[in-house]
Each structure stands twice: as C-alpha cells, then as structure tokens.
Structure 1
C-alpha cells in the first residue's frame, strides 16, 4: 500500500465513477483500476461494487474510507507543520542551555535576535539542564543549538566559545572570609567545608581542575546540580562554594568575594552536532550568535 493508492481510493470513493476520478487525478483509467485492484488484493476484500455506470463503496470500503481520510489528513497536517518549522521565513528553534545562563544571557541574546529579525516568524522552545543532559539531547536531535560547558571525548559535538563567566567565592553573610574584599585564594577557601556541583555538572570538572592544579583536596560537604540551589544552601550556612557570579546572588544572604585565580577564564560554549541538518532559521540564529561573540 502506498500514498498514491490512498489518494486514488478517497477520490474514487467520493466521485463514484472511474472515468471522472481518473480525469480528476490526471491519470489513465486503467492505471486507476489497477491501483484499486492491487489495494483490494492487499486488504483481502472488495472496496467497490458496480452501481449503474459508476461504482459505490461496499460496507468494508466505507469503513476503510474513514481511516484513509484520517491518514491523509494527519499526513497533510504533518507536511504543513514541517514546512512551518523549517521554512525560509519562519520556524521553531529548540534551544537548550545551562542554569547559569537563564536569568540574563539567554533572554538578552534571544531577545536581540528576534528584534533583529522582526520580519521572520520564529518561535523558541527553551530547555534548561546540566551539560551532560543537554549534550545527550543534542545528539538525539531534541535540540538544535545548546549553550553549555565543554565536555571531553565528544567527537560528534562542535564547541565554539561564546562567552565567559566570572567565578566567585560565595560565603554566608558575616563569614570569617567576608572581610577579604580584595580576593580569596584557593588555599584560604579550602579551609572551610565546600558546597560543590554534582559530577554531572559541566562546572564540576572546571572546579576540580582548579583545586588539582593548586594541589589541594577540598572538604566537600554537599553536592548539588543547580546554581541558585547551591547559593541557597550557602546562605543557610551549609558551607561555602565556588560558582559563577549570577544575579540571584544579590538577593540572598551571602557575600560574594573575588577569587585569586591568575590567568583563569571560565568559558561558555555554543554546542552543535556535526553533520546535523539545520533549518534556515536555525542557521540564521547560529550565525547571529557567532557574529555576537566578543570574548
């Protein structure tokens, strides 16, 4: 059974005349007859019966007609939806990003992009998660574009640095380190229990590497995945933590201290799957991001 057979069947069912249906379909009558005979053989039943000079549906043909029409309707809807999503003048962009980018970076970047392309009809689907989840979704084609940390051993993924994040030490208000407004060393920070990111976070290997370079083993008291939750734990004296300088920190009962980390820069990357097809509007967004980079 193929799509043409379904289309021919529905047309003939409504017109009830082989010659007229063949003319409507712009095919020969023998071609239409052959298609219907083949369809009936495949279904193992008669769909049409002679009625005067024309034909009418058998009761089995009437049953099959409902399903054939519904199948064609759903297929037509799928065609229109796909064209809408991947057209030259509009579509949908599935964007995934890490938690730290959700309050300012992504809203500002996407807002600027939409304002720069007001002539286009573009919608964004947003997903927030950790780097490992995001990269898995990117490879499964759940997302078109991702903003996250770089991960090792990901040959399918192309990483492009697009922004930097400032790492700071966050401590509860009035902590013994709070007076060191000019900066805190890793050695000084390591004297206190730490709230760390979980191992699934893209920031965890970054922070692990900082301590490894300094040959320091921190005391990890708690692990958590998301930045604002980490800040909340620190505000309630569960420990201190190294994390990006995100806006929510200004609303909590914490002190934000600079870290003495010479020559260290924490990058955020745009991640794309190599050799995956990108609709025109996704390509426009990728180029816009690339042109907006100012590291």
Structure 2
C-alpha cells in the first residue's frame, strides 16, 4: 500500500468521480484508476461501486475511508511536529469554532495571542456543536472552541473557560422592549427565530421553554448568528442568543434584555482529544487560552 494510492482513494471517495478526482490531483484519469485497482487487489475487497463515470463507496470502503483520513492526519501531524520543534512559535494551529463564538470570543483570543506570537498561522474551521466534536474526535483538528463544553465524552477533554448568559433580542418596537428584564413565560406567544435543528443552542432554548410548559413557535431559522440578528432587526420575531454575540454588535432597531426565571446560561470552552498529544504550537495556544480566561476572571472578581 502506497501513500499515493491512499491519497488517490480519498480524493475519488470525496468526489465520487474518477475524472474529477484526477483533474484535481493534476494526473491522468488512467493513473488514478490504475492505482485504485491495485489498492483493491492488494486489500482483496471492492472499495467502490462503479456506475458509469461515477463511483460510490461500498460499506467496507466507507470504513477504510475513515481510517485512511485519520492515517493521513497522523502523517501530516508528524511532518508538522518536525517543523514546529525547530521553532514552535512559527507553526500552524488548526482549530474549529462555533459560529456563535466568531463575533467576539474567537477574534479576541486570536488577536491577543498574535500580539505575543505574531508568526503563528491559523487554519479555522467553522461547524456546529456536533460537527466540532466529530472534527476533534476523528483527528481533523486537535482543538475546537465551542459551547456548551462536553465534559463526559471519553474521546475528548473539555476545558470550561467561562459561563455566559442567554439573553433576549427583541425589535425596538416590540411591546416588551422597554422592560428591564424578561421572564421566559412572557415569551410563550412570540414568534421565535432560531438556529436550525442539530444546533445545540436551539436544543437548550427549547428545553428551557418546555420547563415552563410551552414549546416555542419557530417561524424562521438561520445557521448564522448575523442572519438571526438581521431577522430580529427586521421585526420578524424575537430570539434568545448568547450575550457575547451582542458585545459591541447590537443590531440597529433591536434591544437586548436579560432573561430571568429561569436564568439560561451556557459554558464556553475548548476541547482537545483524549490520548492524542497536541502539536507544539497548539500546546502554546492551548495554555495561552486557559491563562487568558483565567486573567479575565481574576480581573472581573
């Protein structure tokens, strides 16, 4: 089994088309087909089901793909380790992040870090809560910033950095816009704007509402926090969103109101893999992030 064969296999699996894979690899289609055939002959199984020019993975091919993606990540990590050990302050950090952390928390952390380590590069990957856990578990990245922080996942180590409140965002002309606080049950008849299904923040809000005997009437969904805020600004409904998404970024025509009874909060933190060492540059960043939030907490207290 050759590294070239593995790379060809992964590219074909991603594109489900040999010609497209060959074009992206800048090699002849015949070369890709030949290497895939050799790989299947060596393994003694069919990795693909052929359907004209298109292909799709067999069940065993799907298993093989997951293992080979992980293997390539290990190889890439090994190359990066060698490079970073010569100068860990010039390495690259691969990090996932949740969209709700992209407006304030993530830029604040990276900006502070780059002041001390200006030569470090970042490769940022956005995803929802479940995608980020999978990203780190499968070795696509060695860390991710997300909320809430998983603390019982055997494949991950979750470090809580802070806790933040979920607040109500209302149009400025809303009848309750002048209230200093809102009780959750006061919103039972409202039209809610939320993240789509499979977003953890949506699940948290729905569960909080159900504790007060109602299910929120969801009229609009947005996978991007700015889209949600824009819909509220247009007067199309209300939303419950993390307070950090409104720091220096309150949309025009809206008002932010704290929610009481219950106070809804979420943890914010960073996850790394259990049993897999961080790369040298990543270790510097991980320690920096923990110290950064520790300093903020001491300052606030």
Scaled by the length of structure 2, the TM-score of the pair is 0.64
How far has the Cα of 1:194 moved from its partner?
A: 1.0
How far has the Cα of 1:262 moved from its partner?
A: 4.7
Q: Report Cα offsets for 1:96-128 as digits up to 9, x if no partner.
A: 11112222211221222232345xx42111122
How far has the Cα of 1:221 moved from its partner?
A: 1.6
Query: Which structure 2 residues correspond to residues 196-235 of structure 1 after superposition, within 5 A?
Result: 196-235=194-233
Q: Cα–Cα, structure 1 residues 250 and 220, in superposed 2: closer, same or farther, change >3 Å? A: same
Which of 132, 135, 139 lines up with 2:133 in the alignment?
135
Q: Report Cα offsets for 1:147-183 as digits up to 9, x if no partner.
A: 1123587321221111233311111220111121x11
Q: Cα–Cα, structure 1 residues 79 and 196, in superposed 2: closer, same or farther, change >3 Å? A: closer
Query: Which structure 2 residues correspond to residues 254-273 of structure 1 after superposition, within 5 A?
Result: 254-262=254-262, 264-273=264-273
**RMSD between superposed Cα atoms in Å:** 2.8
Any idea what SS the aligned residue of 1:179 has? coil
Q: Report Cα offsets for 1:202-243 as digits up to 9, x if no partner.
A: 212221221122232222222222211111111222211111
Mapped contact 2:165–2:263 kept (Cα < 8 A): no
Q: Report Cα offsets for 1:65-111 as digits up to 9, x if no partner.
A: xxxxxxxxxxxx99876532554533111111111222221122122
| Count of aligned pairs between the two proteins | 218
Q: Report Cα offsets for 1:8-42 as digits up to 9, x if no partner.
A: xxxxxxxxxxxxxxxxxxxxxxxxxxxxxxxxxxx
Bigger radius of gyration: 1
The equivalent of 1:154 in structure 2 is 153
The equivalent of 2:163 in structure 1 is 164
Structure 1 residue runs of 5 or longer lacking an equivalent are 3-76
Any idea what SS the aligned residue of 2:260 has? coil
Scaled by the length of structure 1, the TM-score of the pair is 0.66
Mapped contact 1:200–1:225 kept (Cα < 8 A): no
The equivalent of 1:283 in structure 2 is 283
- Whole-angstrom CA distance in 1 between matches of 2:219 and 2:192: 5
- Whole-angstrom CA distance in 2 between matches of 1:155 and 1:252: 44
The equivalent of 2:108 in structure 1 is 108
Q: Cα–Cα, structure 1 residues 78 and 266, in superposed 2: closer, same or farther, change >3 Å? A: closer
Any idea what SS the aligned residue of 1:174 has? coil
- Residue 125, structure 1, aligned to residue 123, structure 2: yes
Mapped contact 1:151–1:202 kept (Cα < 8 A): no
Any idea what SS the aligned residue of 1:84 has? helix
- Whole-angstrom CA distance in 1 between matches of 2:77 and 2:106: 30
